[in-house]
Amino acid sequence: MSSSSIQLVATKCPTDELSITNCAVINEKDIDPTRIRHIELSSGVTNTKYVFTIIKYGSMSQGKIGFNTLQRRWAGIELDRSYQIRPYIFDKNVQSIATLVLAVDFLNKKNTTTDPYDTDKMALEFLQQYMDHAFSAGQSLPFQFMDKKTLILAVKEIQTVDLSAVARGQNSKARTIPLGVSLANTMIVFERAEGSSINLGGKSKGKSQFVSIINPDFDFKTMGIGGLDAEFNAIFRRAFASRVFPPEVVYQLG
């Protein structure tokens, strides 16, 4: 499979371990995972397309593609039905995720705990598990954090910025997008899902806790860096942007 599409039959995720990877499971004879990282699924019935990150599994039957329950529910995927699959390439200039806001709850509502969940450690673990993954607003995914109760995360909001403006040293207001790809330095924000009893601690909770360093309203004086002229402000903004977005993107922007 290169740039052309193929037909694969949807099946259940083959193992419990793979079900928490947030990936569609493929046979590498169908799709070469060394060349393709993300795929786009289309049912052919509607114009809606769904993007997934893929992972290979040796025991996956050729001609099939595995999805967990949450993925099937979100994308309306029916088991044993054939779907059109094609490679999807993110444009990291406009689809790199600066901030990802996630609503958190227990996956099993009947098996909860009052133990606190450290959102700072959760954010680090999340990026270790899901870096360079496709995320869409409205999707849900399982998240296993340490040895605690398994969580369910719902993507509430995805934000990016205008990298071209950042490269020119101009202010760039965060912009909401429907689909993006996570980076090593994506800011992860956890919010308690409506009606959830989960006990969230740490600083990586609640979107209001964060101020974007490249937001037009951001003032370096709030960091104790006063007296900066426009040129130095531009330098600082670009320097901070380089910590968020991939080097190849910053380099392309000059």
Task: Look up the CATH number of domain 92-211.
Answer: 3.10.330.10
Q: What is the H or E stretch that residue 200 is in? A: strand 199-201
Give tens-digit pLDDT for 190-205: 999 999 999 999 888 7
Give the model's pLDDT for residue 204. 83
Q: Where do we find the tokens 């700072």?
A: 120
pLDDT at 2 over 60: no
Query: Mean of the pLDDT values across residues 219-237?
Result: 51
Q: Does domain 6-87 have CATH number 2.40.40.20?
A: yes
d(CA 24, CA 13): 8
Per-residue pLDDT reduced to its tens digit, 125-162? 999 999 999 999 999 999 999 989 999 999 999 999 76
Strand, helix or coil for residue 15: coil
Please report the pLDDT score of residue 174 as a whole number.
Answer: 84
Q: Which residue spans of the chain are classified as CATH 2.40.40.20?
A: 6-87
Interior angle at CA 78, CA 72 and CA 81, nearest 5 = 130
Start and end residues for every CATH 3.10.330.10 domain found in the chain: 92-211
Distance from the Cα of residue 4 to its chain's centroid: 25
State yes or no: pLDDT of 216 exceeds 50: no
End-to-end CA distance of the chain: 34
Which stretch of 159-163, 171-175, 204-208 has the lowest confidence by average pLDDT?
A: 204-208
